[in-house]
């Protein structure tokens, strides 16, 4: 079976206060075939090394942004990373084909509950809709966009004892991606990725 190289680009501005993303990041560091990068650690002054980041992209098949949802979007370093790294002639434009054929997804946590992320809900939009700029970034750069892997109600996850299940699902997801044992077509269509995994997603709805 062919193996994929998976790149996790993790962005949390206050990792010491993180209850969910930090354990997810630690778990991804332990999965063979996954390169786990802590962007705020590597670039505390946002002095992103474009050549190094572009080289990392070339060397991986699947790119993952991992972050807590901040103002319905990514923490700011992931925007800066896109602005600097996804250059014309590298990621787009007639000769910018370096990302063609790769896959892209987000692994995110949100403070809001899942039922708030509905058309009729408190936040009016689904999480997949709120991530449309990232979906279109992936499409424009020739990557296949996969639905996000998400944990809702993240700030009560610890007291509700939902973190370990989520970490287990995350490791299962990463292993499936590394081993190319994954239904990409289905994952491109659904609202969020837990539906694709052969595991219950009831903890998000609790
Ligand atoms: C500046 C800031 C903005 C936030 N914006 C949102 C938001 O738009 N939607 C939401 O559901 N939660 C929002 N949250 C809550 C975080 O998403 C939540 O605390 C985080 O996912 C928990 O993960 P962690 O334990 O790894 O920090 C925000 C938190 C902060 C600090």
18 pocket-lining for ligand 1 (C-beta < 6 Å) = yes
Query: What CATH number does residue 187 fall under?
Result: 3.40.50.360
**Nearest CA to 103 among 183, 23, 159?**
183
Neighbours of 139 (CB within 10 A): 12
Measure 144 CA to ligand 1 centroid, in angstroms. Answer: 27
pLDDT of res. 206 = 27
Residue 205 lies in a domain: no
Q: 103 Cβ partners below 8 Å, 6+ apart?
A: 61, 62, 63, 143, 144, 145, 146, 177, 184
Q: What is the pLDDT of residues 68-81, one digit of tens each?
A: 999 999 999 999 99
Specify the pTM: 0.95
Residue 58 within any structural domain of the chain: yes
Measured from the CB, is residue 19 less than 6 Å from ligand 1? yes
Whether 34 maps to a domain, the answer reads yes
Pocket perturbation via mutation, ligand 1, pick of 13, 69, 157 by most ligand atoms within 8 A of CB: 69
From 38, 70, 79, mutation site for ligand 1 pocket: most ligand atoms within 8 A of C-beta = 70
Domain count, the chain: 1
Atom 4, ligand 1: residue with shortest CA distance: 70
In a domain, 118, yes or no: yes
Q: What is the DSSP string of 133-197?
A: HHHHHHHHTTPEE-PPEEESSGGGTTTTT-HHHHHHHHHHHHHHHHTT-S-HHHHHHSSSGGGTT
Q: Which residue has the least CA distance to atom 6 on ligand 1? A: 70
Neighbours of 140 (CB within 10 A): 13
* Residue 112, ligand 1, Cβ within 6 A: yes
Do the domain assignments include residue 206?
Answer: no
Q: Determine the atom of ligand 1 nearest the C-alpha atom of 72.
A: 8
Residue 30, number of CB atoms within 10 A of its CB: 10
What's the whole-number average pLDDT of the chain?
93
Residue 198 has pLDDT above 80, yes or no: no
Q: Is the pLDDT score of 173 beyond 70?
A: yes
CA of 89 to the centre of ligand 1 (A): 34
Determine, yes or no, domain membership for 123: yes
Percentage of the chain modeled with pLDDT above 90: 93
Residue 200, pLDDT > 50, answer: no
> What confidence tens digit (pLDDT) does each residue in 142-172 have?
999 999 999 999 999 999 999 999 999 999 9
CA–CA dist 66, 147 (Å, integer): 13
Domain of residue 170: give its range: 6-195
């Amino acid at each position: 079976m062919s193996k994929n190289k998976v790149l996790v680009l993790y962005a949390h501005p206050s990792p010491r206060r993180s209850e969910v993303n930090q354990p997810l990041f630690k778990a991804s560091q332990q999965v063979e075939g996954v390169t786990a990068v802590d962007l705020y650690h590597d670039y505390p002054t946002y002095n992103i090394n474009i050549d190094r980041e572009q080289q990392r992209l070339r060397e991986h098949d699947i790119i993952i942004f991992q972050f807590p949802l901040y103002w319905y979007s990514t923490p700011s370093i992931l925007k800066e990373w896109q602005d600097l790294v996804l250059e014309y002639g590298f990621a787009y434009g007639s000769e910018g084909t370096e990302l063609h054929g790769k896959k892209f997804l987000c692994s995110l946590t949100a403070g809001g509950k899942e039922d708030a992320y509905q058309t009729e809900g408190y936040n009016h939009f689904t999480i997949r809709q709120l991530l449309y700029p990232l979906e279109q970034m992936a499409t424009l750069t020739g990557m296949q966009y996969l639905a996000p892997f998400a944990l809702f109600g993240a700030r009560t996850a610890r007291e509700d004892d939902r973190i370990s299940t989520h970490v287990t699902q995350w490791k299962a997801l990463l292993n499936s991606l590394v081993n190319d044992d994954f239904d990409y077509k289905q994952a491109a269509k659904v609202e969020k990725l837990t539906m694709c995994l052969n595991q219950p997603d009831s903890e998000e709805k609790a």
